[in-house]
Amino acid sequence: MQRIVLKVGSAVLTQEGDIAHRRLDNLVEFISKLQKKYEVILVSSGAVAAGYTLLPLDKKVIANKQALASIGQPLLMHTYRTEFAKYNIICSQVLIEATLFSDMNRLAHAKDAINTLLENKVVPIINENDVTAIEELVFGDNDQLAAYVTHYFDCELLSILTDIDGFFDKNPHENSDAKLQKIVHTIDSEQLKQKHSANSEFATGGIVTKLKAADFLIKNNKKMFLSSGFDLTCAKEYLLDNLHNNGTLFKAQ
Ligand code: ADP
């Protein structure tokens, strides 16, 4: 069975200061269908935003952000657990730190655990361990973390679900004539130097971190598919029916 990673961002998971329950439900239903065809790992953001719904601390202070992640992570997991249970699916929490990927011994242990979970049809839900992470040693955004997870945990493809239909030739929020790029084989080094352009209050990455993730995966001969997490039609068509009608596929030529 092929193994894939789904990454969902804060923009999709939160709405008006709350967890976007309907979108999360739709995502879980989608994963239940994907499980018939793939082994699925989920990389989920949204812990800080979920924490903020219970205790609105000032997010600009790093210790507050870490506290919010600590409050929000179990709340987010509770929401996932309740929803997955409707499909008789067990989900699990995996908190990792960026340094894991440069420590072959720890990585091998983590891989064994992930393999065991997937063999048992469990959906591992991965997030960066923000509470104990040291600022200089973090990914800081789950796009690049998800790319590493894809590569190091032997997955074929990373599907990023975001608040936009795909990658455009320019920022579509600022340019009405921006065109969606259906397929991308290489990423220009200039594009990787752009400043971050996250669109929503809790998003951290913007398009640059998605391009960095894509660049890493292309170089490692893996694929990345970027599409809307608001409307899952395009991700469903691509992953379940092998139809590429919309969204951006990043892959080596
Ligand atoms: P997420 O929370 O899903 O990671 P982000 O807000 O971090 O979402 O990233 C998606 C945003 O990146 C889009 O909504 C858009 O505002 C911005 N963006 C900037 N340039 C582009 C581009 N060329 N193509 C697509 N999106 C872009």
In this prediction, residue 215 carries a pLDDT of 97
In this prediction, residue 202 carries a pLDDT of 64
Q: Is 162 in the pocket of ligand 1 (CB under 6 A)?
A: yes
Average pLDDT over residues 208-229: 97
Share of the chain above pLDDT 70, in %: 94
More confident residue, 131 or 82: 82
* Distance of alpha carbon 235 from alpha carbon 25, whole angstroms: 15
Tokens 């800080």 map to which residue?
A: 48
* Distance of alpha carbon 147 from alpha carbon 232, whole angstroms: 20
* Distance of alpha carbon 171 from alpha carbon 7, whole angstroms: 21
Q: Is 206 in the pocket of ligand 1 (CB under 6 A)?
A: yes
Amino acid found at 144: Q
Helix H segments across the chain?
Answer: 10-13, 21-34, 47-54, 62-85, 104-119, 142-152, 207-219, 233-241
Average pLDDT over residues 152-164: 97
- What architecture is domain 2-250? 3-Layer(aba) Sandwich (3.40)
Which protein residue has the closest C-alpha to ligand 1 atom 4?
9
Average pLDDT over residues 104-133: 95
**55 Cα to the center of ligand 1, angstroms:** 27
**27 Cα to the center of ligand 1, angstroms:** 19
Q: Is 179 in the pocket of ligand 1 (CB under 6 A)?
A: no
Q: Is 213 in the pocket of ligand 1 (CB under 6 A)?
A: no
In this prediction, residue 203 carries a pLDDT of 63
Share of the chain above pLDDT 90, in %: 82
* Distance of alpha carbon 45 from alpha carbon 141, whole angstroms: 8
**175 Cα to the center of ligand 1, angstroms:** 13
**187 Cα to the center of ligand 1, angstroms:** 16
The pTM of this model reads 0.94
Quick one: pLDDT band at residue 83, thresholds 50, 70, 90? Answer: very high
* Distance of alpha carbon 212 from alpha carbon 119, whole angstroms: 30
In this prediction, residue 196 carries a pLDDT of 66
**Which numbered atom of ligand 1 lies nearest the CA of 205?**
7
DSSP-derived pairing of the beta strands 223-228 and 248-250: antiparallel
Annotated domain spans of the chain: 2-250
